Chain A
Amino acid sequence: MAETKVKETKEPLFGKKERKLLVDPLLDNNPITVQVLGVCSALAVTSLVMPSLVMTVAVVFVCAFSNLFTSLLRNIIPNEVRLIAQLIIIATLVTIVELSLKYFDYPTYKELSVYIGLIITNCIVMGRLEAFAMGNKPWKSFIDGLGNGIGYGIILIVVAVFRELFGKGTLAGFQILPEGYFANNLMVMPAAAMFILAVFIWIQRSRNKELIDIS
């Protein structure tokens, strides 16, 4: 009996709260469509599926670990320089991503080098550090980072699928639409990401009235 009591008072490693942290940013509190953060990179990298996938992996990594490290350091980071400290953490992780890509997959590094550097300026990452990691424990922060990274990635990939399919007739480089399909170049332009994003937000908010006027 004593044993079960101890277990009850101790919070589980992945309980309801953690689940909420992970799942919420996927749809109902999505960083792009609900918080409207990180839109700039969502417009830039989503013309093809493959770069969007790599970008997703990179952002999930950076977001989760910068949250973790910031949370670990949250009590010793002086309040006056906290933004600089956060920026250093993010920049370090982004550099590690860049060097790893160079080491493991040079062609992809070549393809994405500009975008990878842009993760530093992705406001989702910094937003989570300020809003969550500075005031929560490391494990929760890590999960929050994962959730927000994945939430960002889902939108990226959905937008990229539409843009590549209608803009080029392919998906991840494979021909999907028949050869005679006349590619719609508008879909390749950043403006198309704006339309798709807007439609996504529209559908999302008409399904869940609670989201209206949140942002």
Chain B
Amino acid sequence: MSTTKIYLFVASMTVVVALLLTGFRMATAEQAEINEKVFNKRAILKSLAEGLDGDLDAMSDEEVQAVFENNVQQFVIKADGSVVEDVTAEEVKMKKEVKKAIEDRNLPLYVYANPTTNKSYYITAVRGKGLWDEIWGSIALEDDFNTIVGVSYDHAAETPGLGAEIKDNSAWVAMFTGKKIYDDAGNFVSINVRKGGAIPGNPHQVDAITGATITGDGVTKMLESGLQLYESYFATLKAGN
């Protein structure tokens, strides 16, 4: 076969495939984007655990959107405690923010008001490194800005059954509920994922996951560096109360 024919074949095949895939992508893009937003919203609401009014798994996508519409306020703050006006928390991409200098970072904060109990919860976003790639999560605090009501984690590429347990193992995730990020004297201590098991009664420790030491250490580091950044803003809220 002549070279021209080969070129022609490859060129026409490329064009056909490109058109096909572009068409397919355009047809699915809108719904895919909605799916992604709902997926992210579910992850945020999941951190509320028992604090959420209703059962998240039973909620339809529309109901999740409605909860965000009606019961969630979005703020974007800086580490110095100031509020950024012209962005919503949803627009903040933590992946980009963690690469900036700490004082330049935009930090998303979701405030959920439970319509039944009238309690408010403050959901912060944290991001760090696991064993293979990035890990991130939402940490929901009670209105004392100290007690964790729940957390939800996710990861890019942790090992299923080991590091990925930070997302999949609901019993482990539930251990964070009720833990405190400040000690009695008001010093920031964060939460430590402790290898060998949390010391009973210690409000700042949870058990490590067997076989996932590095991911667990990643969670510890992520919480320490991430939660600290909200301290100033929470202080202004406390002063305002």
Contact = CB atoms under 8 A, between A and B. Distances in A.
A and B associate in one complex: yes
Query: Chain A: interface secondary structure?
Result: helix
Interface string B204-217: 00000011000000
Contacts of A103: 28, 31-32, 35
Interface in A65-79: 76-79
Interface string B158-191: 0111100000000000000000000000000000
Given A100-B28, A183-B210, 20 more contacts: A47-B159, A47-B161, A77-B9, A78-B1, A80-B1, A81-B10, A85-B9, A88-B13, A92-B17, A96-B21, A99-B24, A106-B35, A107-B39, A114-B157, A163-B161, A167-B161, A168-B161, A185-B211, A188-B160, A189-B162
Contact of B5 (A47, A78, A85, A100): A78
B21 A188 contact: no
A110 to B, nearest CB: 7
Contacts of A164: 161
A77 B8 CA distance: 11
A168 B161 CA distance: 7
A51 interface: yes
Contacts of A163: 161
Interface of B: 1, 5-6, 9-10, 13-14, 17, 20-21, 24-25, 28, 31-32, 35-36, 38-39, 157, 159-162, 210-211
B32 to A, nearest CB: 4
B89 to A, nearest CB: 20
A48 B39 contact: no
A132 B162 CA distance: 39
Contact of B162 (A92, A99, A110, A188): A188
Contacts of A77: 9
A168 B172 CA distance: 14
B172 to A, nearest CB: 12
Contacts of A81: 6, 9-10
Interface residues of A, number: 31
Contacts of B28: 99-100, 102-103
Nearest to A45: B160
Contacts of B25: 99
A35 interface: no
Contacts of B14: 88
Interface of A: 47-48, 51, 76-81, 84-85, 88, 92, 95-96, 99-100, 102-103, 106-107, 110, 114, 163-164, 167-168, 183, 185, 188-189
Nearest to A80: B6
Given A48-B160, A88-B14, A99-B32, A110 B9 contact: no
A204 to B, nearest CB: 26
Contacts of B38: 106
A163 B29 CA distance: 36
A94 to B, nearest CB: 11
A102 B32 contact: yes
Given A79-B1, A102-B28, A188 B17 contact: no
A106 B9 contact: no
A68 to B, nearest CB: 15
B239 to A, nearest CB: 40
Residue picked from B5, B13, B17, B36, most chain A C-beta under 10 Å: B13
Contacts of B210: 183, 185
Given A103-B31, A103-B32, A185-B211, A96 B24 contact: yes
B58 to A, nearest CB: 15
B161 A188 contact: yes
B32 A188 contact: no
Residue picked from B14, B31, B160, most chain A C-beta under 10 Å: B160
Contact of A106 (B5, B36, B157, B211): B36
User: Lowest 6 CB-CB distances: which A-B pairs, in order?
Assistant: A188-B161, A106-B35, A103-B28, A185-B211, A102-B32, A47-B160
